[in-house]
A and B are shown apart, each in its own frame.
Chain A
């Protein structure tokens, strides 16, 4: 029997890191190209704009990463985000509850929607695609019903707007005004990474996606952990809802459709496999940035918005194709 001491390192570089390097290289390349093409691109204000634009999609994509690693899918994160924003508005503006309670309410709304997703999937045995498609509509409808079709404004609670748009860094280093939304996104990404790599929930996320039956036969309560994964994704959607409501200083009930696809695109560009079992938070963060850098750069180059969307689609396919090629070579 040969010793296999060298294998882990090699395999790490070969599989996980290659895709990340590829994505990261792509991101850098875009930065260089856009910087050369337009002097307006590499400006502090523009970079902050990119970071801010990434925050909401990025947070949603963090949750989607967990779900996709289990070989599932969550189509509801966009409208659940909206519902969470609306509920935050209900708590703070309609009911006059303190801002922290409202924020917590928003997070719990997302968590509850996720828990329902997880329960429908693991107990009622509805495929994730269908279960979360149902939730997409339910959350969308409820947002409209609860808000009475009108935006809910946070004009009486100026501190709420500060959650996303204030700047803790600006208070410490004058002029270095990175919006809190961005910091929240980075904080959430770090927490997500710790959960994914250091905790039991992360371990079972990978195990479920790698071989659900084997996981079940190992005595793991598969249903309970699946519910936990979807609840986590819902909680991140709730966080996205709080951030977007704070940023817009209002809960917009008609917003949110399409966000789930951006989130999935970010996850996929970041190298997480839709067939489950592999994926990283860093990849997803890079993926989310690629989408917003692309959008931002193309806008600066005056490419019409319609074409930006077309190009994003092309990038998604290219990213997955690169991944497929890598896999085939193995």
Chain B
């Protein structure tokens, strides 16, 4: 047992409404690179944030060098020699590179109050020299590319002389040559006896760099394998596993062939590259992919929430220009955000107001008064039609459950009578019972002739609901499958298909998905 540098056992962690970790375990030896893999929401980041002192575990034990330890804060973790490089960049953009690296432990001179700026810069220079990194310590972080910022993060973690280094998707924003540099460095650290935890979705990368792989799924520990002896297919099938909704897909029958929406060569920076697809009347089109693949960005681009660099959007064969969400709604496109509490609802207001919110102009009487009787009648209609469980239409939305809140959002867009509905993670944070109601609702809507895009990180959900599946990776569409040919394994393969020369696309992707750990 004592050959382990870190041993985590029986770790449990719940967030409101989610059992994030269920009796999980993890071990790390000195001088190994141990990869941690799993689908979005499998609990990898949560597990490592507990090790790094960012989250408190509910129960379980952490042993460090054989001794039981409690890690209450990031500082406590650092003092033990545990550093974590976060997936979201944690830098202070207004400060220089060197100032960022030494934040919290600046060299001082004279009385403890004075900064020794010269020493900060010198030590950073030395650090960069060891890393073979050409970077001026006096550069402001805001002036660096995302890739360079990532390297600063890594340099910062390394500067702690850590014995345990956790890297959460460190290569998401790096180019191939930068990844090579990083790997060289990781191997050097490994030779020096540092234990490295490497979280990544890029399985072929893990093959190159890791010694062992631990697979997690749905907040549970699955298995720890030797990298050399395990083929990638086996890792994928362990990640995907068997899940709770194995019921037969409820795919509605034939869709008619009218193309409602067509997107051609949509580009936005590094977030979206040449996105083209068609959406038919009465169809549910599933968008699958891993965190940061660019699915939400596609939705936001179509909805006019982000400006696109180039590309065309056609509705019923006619080109349209969508410059703002207001334009999108006018053209009959609705976007139901993955973060409905922030972008979908005004939580403090009642059900009635929320349902009328996107279409108040329908309820205006002369002089611009809102016709209350009419909004109330409409709200009551949808509360019934969608079976929203609420004491009344005057109930504040924040008092409803997640599933019912989602239905209110759906009611809002049905009131606006949009033809195209884009659902972004429609069942996130919704309990199993309410999920099937949402599924039924989506099917009904499709049968009524609405065209639906469903973005989901849950493959079983995609397989159960979609007529067609589009897989994305790093801002590109990497595959399109009719449902008959779609399997979890097939989709996963497309979703992890990196292009040869990956450019930095990290920032947009990462920030839009924060909190998905």
Chain A nearest CB: distance from B182 CB in Å? Answer: 12
CB <8 Å contact, B92 and A2: no
Chain B nearest CB: distance from A209 CB in Å? Answer: 7
Residues from chain B with a CB closer than 8 A to the CB of A198 are 114-115, 117
**Cross-chain contact of A210 among B74, B94, B136, B139 (Cβ < 8 A):** B94
> Known: A3-B136, A220-B103. Contact between A277 and B94, CB under 8 A?
yes
Residues from chain A with a CB closer than 8 A to the CB of B78 are 219
CB <8 Å contact, A211 and B90: yes
- Give the docked Cα–Cα distance between A242 and B21 (Å): 58
CB <8 Å contact, B92 and A210: yes
**Cross-chain contact of B95 among A206, A213, A219, A220 (Cβ < 8 A):** A206
Chain B nearest CB: distance from A67 CB in Å? Answer: 16
- Give the docked Cα–Cα distance between A200 and B112 (Å): 8
Flag whether A43 is at the interface (Cβ < 8 A).
no
Residues from chain A with a CB closer than 8 A to the CB of B133 are 1
B54-79: contact bitstring with A at CB < 8 Å (1 yes, 0 no)? 10000000000000000001110010
Summarize B's interface: helix, strand, loop or mixed: loop
- Give the docked Cα–Cα distance between A199 and B116 (Å): 9
CB <8 Å contact, A219 and B73: yes
The interface stretch among A4-12, A22-30, A131-139, A313-321 is A4-12
Flag whether B96 is at the interface (Cβ < 8 A).
yes
B73-89: contact bitstring with A at CB < 8 Å (1 yes, 0 no)? 11100100000001000
Residues from chain A with a CB closer than 8 A to the CB of B96 are 8
Flag whether A266 is at the interface (Cβ < 8 A).
no
CB <8 Å contact, B139 and A277: no
Residues from chain A with a CB closer than 8 A to the CB of B259 are none
Number of interface residues of A (CB under 8 A): 29
List B113-137 residues whose CB lies under 8 Å from chain A. Answer: 113-115, 117, 133-136
Residues from chain B with a CB closer than 8 A to the CB of A7 are 136, 139-140, 143
Chain B nearest CB: distance from A274 CB in Å? Answer: 14
CB <8 Å contact, B113 and A201: yes
Flag whether A207 is at the interface (Cβ < 8 A).
yes
> Known: A2-B134, A203-B99. Contact between A211 and B93, CB under 8 A?
yes
Chain B nearest CB: distance from A164 CB in Å? Answer: 29
Residue of B nearest to A212 (CB): B92
> Known: A219-B104, A220-B103. Contact between A214 and B92, CB under 8 A?
yes
CB <8 Å contact, B140 and A11: yes
Flag whether B91 is at the interface (Cβ < 8 A).
yes
CB <8 Å contact, A219 and B94: no
Flag whether A218 is at the interface (Cβ < 8 A).
yes
A60-84: contact bitstring with B at CB < 8 Å (1 yes, 0 no)? 0000000000000000000000000
> Known: A198-B114, A199-B115. Contact between A211 and B91, CB under 8 A?
yes
CB <8 Å contact, B94 and A206: yes
A180-202: contact bitstring with B at CB < 8 Å (1 yes, 0 no)? 00000000000000000011111
CB <8 Å contact, B134 and A215: no
List A269-299 residues whose CB lies under 8 Å from chain B. Answer: 277-278
Which residue among A203, A209, A217 has the maximum number of chain B CB atoms within 10 Å of its CB? A217
Chain B nearest CB: distance from A279 CB in Å? Answer: 9
> Known: A198-B115, A203-B106, A216-B74. Contact between A8 and B136, CB under 8 A?
yes
Residue of B nearest to A3 (CB): B134
Chain B nearest CB: distance from A20 CB in Å? Answer: 16
**Cross-chain contact of A219 among B75, B114, B140, B178 (Cβ < 8 A):** B75
Chain B nearest CB: distance from A210 CB in Å? Answer: 4
> Known: A8-B96, A199-B115, A278-B94. Contact between A219 and B143, CB under 8 A?
no
- Give the docked Cα–Cα distance between A4 and B140 (Å): 10
Residue of A nearest to B90 (CB): A214
Residues from chain B with a CB closer than 8 A to the CB of A203 are 95, 99, 103, 106, 115
Number of interface residues of B (CB under 8 A): 36
**Cross-chain contact of A8 among B54, B103, B105, B138 (Cβ < 8 A):** B138
List A202-255 residues whose CB lies under 8 Å from chain B. Answer: 202-203, 206-207, 209-211, 213-220
- Give the docked Cα–Cα distance between A198 and B54 (Å): 30
Residues from chain B with a CB closer than 8 A to the CB of A2 are 134
CB <8 Å contact, B113 and A217: no
Which residue among A1, A8, A209, A278 has the maximum number of chain B CB atoms within 10 Å of its CB? A1
CB <8 Å contact, A1 and B90: no
Residues from chain A with a CB closer than 8 A to the CB of B178 are 1
CB <8 Å contact, B113 and A211: no
CB <8 Å contact, A5 and B73: no
Residues from chain B with a CB closer than 8 A to the CB of A200 are 106, 108, 112-115
- Give the docked Cα–Cα distance between A126 and B148 (Å): 36
Residues from chain B with a CB closer than 8 A to the CB of A215 are 92, 103-104
CB <8 Å contact, A5 and B74: no
CB <8 Å contact, A4 and B135: yes
Chain A nearest CB: distance from B183 CB in Å? Answer: 15
**Cross-chain contact of A213 among B90, B105, B140 (Cβ < 8 A):** B90
> Known: A214-B91, A217-B54, A220-B104. Contact between A8 and B134, CB under 8 A?
no
List B249-263 residues whose CB lies under 8 Å from chain A. Answer: none
- Give the docked Cα–Cα distance between A17 and B75 (Å): 36
**Cross-chain contact of B92 among A199, A202, A211 (Cβ < 8 A):** A211
CB <8 Å contact, B74 and A219: yes
Residues from chain A with a CB closer than 8 A to the CB of B139 are 4, 7-8, 11
CB <8 Å contact, A1 and B134: yes
CB <8 Å contact, B74 and A217: yes
CB <8 Å contact, A210 and B114: no
Residues from chain A with a CB closer than 8 A to the CB of B113 are 199-201
Residues from chain B with a CB closer than 8 A to the CB of A219 are 73-75, 78, 104-105
- Give the docked Cα–Cα distance between A240 and B73 (Å): 39
Residue of B nearest to A276 (CB): B94
CB <8 Å contact, A210 and B54: no
Residues from chain B with a CB closer than 8 A to the CB of A216 are 74
Residues from chain B with a CB closer than 8 A to the CB of A277 are 92-94
B162-199: contact bitstring with A at CB < 8 Å (1 yes, 0 no)? 00000000000000001000000000000000000000
Residues from chain A with a CB closer than 8 A to the CB of B94 are 206, 209-210, 277-278
Residues from chain A with a CB closer than 8 A to the CB of B115 are 198-200, 202-203
- Give the docked Cα–Cα distance between A207 and B73 (Å): 19
- Give the docked Cα–Cα distance between A279 and B90 (Å): 21
- Give the docked Cα–Cα distance between A202 and B108 (Å): 13
- Give the docked Cα–Cα distance between A199 and B93 (Å): 19
CB <8 Å contact, A218 and B136: no
Residues from chain B with a CB closer than 8 A to the CB of A3 are 134, 136
- Give the docked Cα–Cα distance between A215 and B91 (Å): 8
Residue of B nearest to A9 (CB): B138
Chain B nearest CB: distance from A302 CB in Å? Answer: 44
- Give the docked Cα–Cα distance between A198 and B115 (Å): 6
Q: List 7 A-B contacts (CB under 8 A).
A: A1-B178, A200-B108, A203-B99, A215-B92, A218-B74, A219-B73, A219-B75
Q: Interface on B for A, CB 8 Å cutoff?
A: 54, 73-75, 78, 86, 90-96, 99, 103-106, 108, 112-115, 117, 133-136, 138-140, 142-144, 148, 178
Q: Interface on A for B, CB 8 Å cutoff?
A: 1-5, 7-8, 11, 198-203, 206-207, 209-211, 213-220, 277-278
Q: A2-B134, A3-B134, A219-B104 are in contact. List 4 more A-B contacts (CB 8 A).
A: A209-B94, A219-B74, A220-B103, A277-B94
For the complex of A and B, the 5 pairs showing the least CB-CB separation, nearest first, are: A219-B75, A277-B94, A210-B92, A214-B90, A210-B94
